[in-house]
Amino acid sequence: MSIIVKELCKKFNHQVAISNVSFSISKGITGFLGPNGAGKSTTMNIISGCLEADNGSVSVCGENIRNNVNIKRKIGYLSEQNPLYYDMYVKEFLIFSAKSYGLTLTKNAINQIIEITNLQPQAYNIINSLSKGYKQRVGLAQALLHNPEVLILDEATNGLDPNQIEEMRTLLRTLSETKTILFSTHILSEVVNLCSHVLIINKGRMVFDSTVDELINHKKNNVKILLEILEPITKEDLLLLPSIQKVEHINNIWHIQPMDNHIIYEDIRINISQYAQQTNWTLLSLSQQESSLANIFKSLTQ
């Protein structure tokens, strides 16, 4: 595993930022999700060595990061604030950053970084004149200067337009072939399209740690039955059916929530249809609706 986090804890005064956070990730892109203030940036700051944890441990590429300056050579970090020198030209800034890191990069090496991040059109422009998307690319280019094995990207696509987001996704997919990328975002669809592994944190605690496929299955297994019946019936009539957990009547349509342990094994619509025949109900509509990713995220973080 490229990153191993064990029982990480951090407080700011009396406020708990993260509590007993543990996970491990390897090569590829891992999406890191959570509401604002959930502890994402704190966790990423600790992994990158910018912040020290109160308890717990972090190892990157097999080395513990505590008091280990050399391990930072294996980590590239793009923070949410993306601190840049706005009065510098793009190429000038990257050369300056390389020197400040103690790197002896040739002009060809700098040009290669500029090419990888598609900064050629802006290489000789002042950073302050760039769009949000190009500023993000400059920050990413800076994080890539020392060719790190691990990339930590905090809200790298925040504020980008759809075209810029797609360009950033393409770049990250290419980088993920050789690097481990921990990528925080608020965009659920971005995680599904880009990542192979998902972490969700809430109030400083990890609430989901699995594959994207498992998140999608979680979505599929959280279903709701929508039922419309001609005859007037009550909630109690529907609760007589087996495997039903909750019933609501909204805009003349019954919303039925199956019990969790029955969702996978049987289709509740069959039971409803058979019961309707027995009781002479006139079914106007009967359908199954999967929960959205947004609702899954909401259920995990409330």
Q: Whole-angstrom Cα distance, residue 296 to residue 290? A: 10
Q: pLDDT grade, residue 265 (50/70/90)?
A: very low
299 vs 92: which has the higher pLDDT: 92
Using one digit for the tens of pLDDT, what is the confidence trace for 16-30? 999 999 999 999 999
Residue that has been written with the tokens 């103690």 in this structure: 102
189 vs 120: which has the higher pLDDT: 120
Residue that has been written with the tokens 């040009």 in this structure: 111
- Domain hosting 289: range is 223-300
Residue that has been written with the tokens 């929530």 in this structure: 257
Q: Residue 192's Cα: distance from chain center in Å?
A: 9
Are residue 201 and residue 255 in the same domain, yes or no? no
CB 182 within 8 A of CB 134: no
From 199, 218, 237, the end of a domain falls on: 218
Using one digit for the tens of pLDDT, what is the confidence trace for 219-255? 655 677 888 888 888 888 888 877 787 888 888 888 8
Where b means 16+ CB within 10 Å and e means fewer, 134-166 reads: bbbbbbbbbbbbbebebbbbbbbbeebeeebbe
DSSP letters of the chain? --EEEEEEEEEETTEEEEEEEEEEE-SEEEEEE--TTSSHHHHHHHHTTSS--SEEEEEETTEE-TT-GGGGGGEEEE-SS----TTSBHHHHHHHHHHHTT----HHHHHHHHHHTT-GGGTTSBGGGS-HHHHHHHHHHHHHTT--SEEEEESTTTT--HHHHHHHHHHHHHHTTTSEEEEE-S-HHHHHHH-SEEEEEETTEEEEEEEHHHHHHHHHTSEEEEEEESS---HHHHHTSTTEEEEEEETTEEEEEE-HHHHTT--HHHHHHHHHHHTT--EEEEEEEEPPHHHHHHHHT-
pLDDT at 127: 96
Are residue 171 and residue 72 in the same domain, yes or no? yes
Q: pLDDT grade, residue 44 (50/70/90)?
A: very high
Are residue 12 and residue 117 in the same domain, yes or no? yes
CB 58 within 8 A of CB 23: no
pLDDT at 290: 65
For position 92, which CATH number holds? 3.40.50.300
Are residue 88 and residue 190 in the same domain, yes or no? yes
For position 274, which CATH number holds? 3.30.70.980
CB 204 within 8 A of CB 17: yes
Are residue 110 and residue 139 in the same domain, yes or no? yes
Are residue 156 and residue 257 in the same domain, yes or no? no
Tell me phi and psi for residue 110, to 5 degrees: -65, -45
Average pLDDT value for the chain: 86
pLDDT at 291: 65
Are residue 208 and residue 90 in the same domain, yes or no? yes
The structural domain count of the chain equals 2
Q: What is the pLDDT averaged over residues 265-274?
A: 74
Q: pLDDT grade, residue 302 (50/70/90)?
A: confident
**Lowest model confidence (mean pLDDT) among 13-17, 178-182, 237-241, 293-297:** 293-297
CA angle 179, 184, 189 (to 5 degrees): 100
